[in-house]
Structure 1
Amino acid sequence: MRPLVYLCVRPQQGAAAAEYESFRSAMRLDEQSLERWDLVTAPLPADAVERWRGVVVGGSPFNVTDPESTKTDVQRRLEADLARLAREAAAGSVAALFTCFGIGVATRALGGDVTRAYPEDTGPTTVSLTADAAADPLFGGLADTFAALTAHKEGTGRVPEGAVLLATNEACPVQAYRVGDRLYATQFHPEPTGRAFTERMAVYRDDGYFAASDYDAIAARVLAASLTEPVRILRAFAETF
């Protein structure tokens, strides 16, 4: 059986390695079942759809709404690779789960709108499922309302045509959606434990997601949060695809 793959889109190697381990642990896979490909240092292989049966895309300090004039060549290439993958997944050629930064790339690639109008503070947020989530292979069976971890400066303002909204909240109305039966996207991070998230916070504490002086208070909220439901999405993805 072809493996799944984690696509790294973080320039910070330590944070990327920890994120891969979070995905692998949450999905209950070994290193042969969940491979790792670093899009920061190497382009997406031409045979990606044939090589892997499914992909998961992690977060990144990049934003798709950054002015094009400020984007590096690496960011432009990386976004183009992910956009190609999103179109392949929407067409049913490969299974894909785009998270955080990834949802912005997928949304824009498929004709939706990404905006700076829906940022969320770093830490736990409350997510609610929509009625359509009940019959979804990944989201069906989750608690109607659950805690998830976020840290982002942009969000989806309008989902792509034909997308099914699966999860929402007041601060950022598009928390998760599906296109077809193989492309999923979440604004929240489904993979980290509270401890892993606080370690990631330490890497990005000076990057404008939160005031560095608030680290301890935010970390305490993260560690106190019950994060039982988001990882179930990843396990269902690994089992379904």
Structure 2
Amino acid sequence: MEPGAHSGHFGWHSTQIRTDPMTKPFLILQLRPETEASDDEFAAFLAKGGLEPGEVRRIRLDQEAIPEDLTLDDLSGVIVGGGPGCVSDAPEEKTAQEARIEAAVLGLMPQVTARDFPFLGCCYGIGILGAHLGAEVGKGRYGEPVGTADCRVTEAGQDDPLLDQVPESFAAFVGHKEALHVLPEGCTHLVASDSCPYQMVRHGQHVYATQFHPEADGAGFETRIRIYRNKGYFPPETAEDLIAMCRAAEVRAPEVILRNFVNRYRR
């Protein structure tokens, strides 16, 4: 039986989605309310994942809900992008939009994990997975400034198909305020770093999340630095130095993970 091979509805209201009956698209859920950042991230998912526009269904959760009649059986997999929200923030600290986006993503996680359905949560997505599984997610320990992290594949990760052709040590773009404090129950630890121990985990066999950005390259991170320079990720006056660092960084391995996810679950 292929991953997640039984039906179930998400439970949101919207217009009906029509897709090519011969293909099952990847659902790309985006959380960024800034159009330039969202469009750049979407283009990166396509380019780095080896995806054609016709192979995806894009939903910007700041603008629309997940349609009620879209089921996991309609999809090859789910990819969740990053965003400025934090699941560990107190309810009163979240804007109405951030709370609505968080609820939408958390709302699909029970079916994803119960069915072990192909899922890749990027940055924000690891917090969502951890929160859904009841693990501690917070800002107290492992936040990382905008830049690169030196990651290493764990012993368990060396046998994981998404890390095929990924070197044991690699650089990845990061920039986050919160992180997993413990490994969630039912998860396998795949990638670590000294600055943030849980850089990539897998729940079951097909539900993945990364703290780093597998879609990001230097140009994409330059765009995000300019957009989020006043959002508390770094001192605004350091933006140009960070951009220079991103331009000079050699970051290639993370996109292999994204492409391996697409190639493994495309159907």
Q: Select which of 106, 116, 141 maps to 2:165.
A: 141
Q: Match of 1:23?
A: 45
How well do the aligned residues superpose, as a CA RMSD in angstroms? Answer: 1.3
Does 2:66 match 1:69? no
Quick one: which amino acid aligns to residue 257 of structure 2? I
Shift of 1:199: 1.1
Does 2:210 match 1:186? yes
Q: Select which of 51, 73, 90 maps to 2:113.
A: 90
Does 2:257 match 1:233? yes
Shift of 1:120: 0.2
Percent of pairs identical after alignment? 33
Shift of 1:181: 1.4
Superposed, 1:132-211 pairs within 5 Å as 132-211=156-235
Does 2:35 match 1:13? yes
Q: Answer whether contact 2:116 2:207 (CA < 8 A) is retained.
A: no
Instruction: Give 3-state SS (helix, strand or coil) of 2:162's partner.
Output: coil
CA distance in 1, matches of 2:116, 2:191: 24
Pick which of 48-57 and 120-129 moved more: 48-57
Quick one: which amino acid aligns to residue 82 of structure 1? V
CA distance in 2, matches of 1:213, 1:72: 26
Does 2:72 match 1:49? yes
Q: Match of 2:54?
A: 32
Instruction: Give 3-state SS (helix, strand or coil) of 1:141's partner.
Output: coil
Q: Match of 1:224?
A: 248
Instruction: Give 3-state SS (helix, strand or coil) of 1:173's partner.
Output: coil
Superposed, 1:112-127 pairs within 5 Å as 112-116=135-139, 117-127=141-151
Shift of 1:72: 2.6
Quick one: which amino acid aligns to residue 30 of structure 1? E
Number of aligned residue pairs: 241
Q: Answer whether contact 1:86 1:110 (CA < 8 A) is retained.
A: no
Shift of 1:119: 0.6
Q: Answer whether contact 1:4 1:34 (CA < 8 A) is retained.
A: yes
Distance 1:158 1:95, change over 3 A: same
CA distance in 2, matches of 1:159, 1:90: 16
Q: Answer whether contact 2:116 2:205 (CA < 8 A) is retained.
A: no
Q: TM-score, normalised by structure 2?
A: 0.87
CA distance in 1, matches of 2:246, 2:124: 20
Shift of 1:34: 2.1
Q: Answer whether contact 1:86 1:183 (CA < 8 A) is retained.
A: no
- Structure 1 residues 122-170: Cα deviation after superposition (integer angstroms, max 9, x where no partner): 0111111110011101013310110000010000011221100001111
- Structure 1 residues 157-200: Cα deviation after superposition (integer angstroms, max 9, x where no partner): 11221100001111111100000112100000110221111111
Shift of 1:73: 2.9
Quick one: which amino acid aligns to residue 29 of structure 2? L
- Unaligned stretches of 5+ residues in structure 2: 1-22
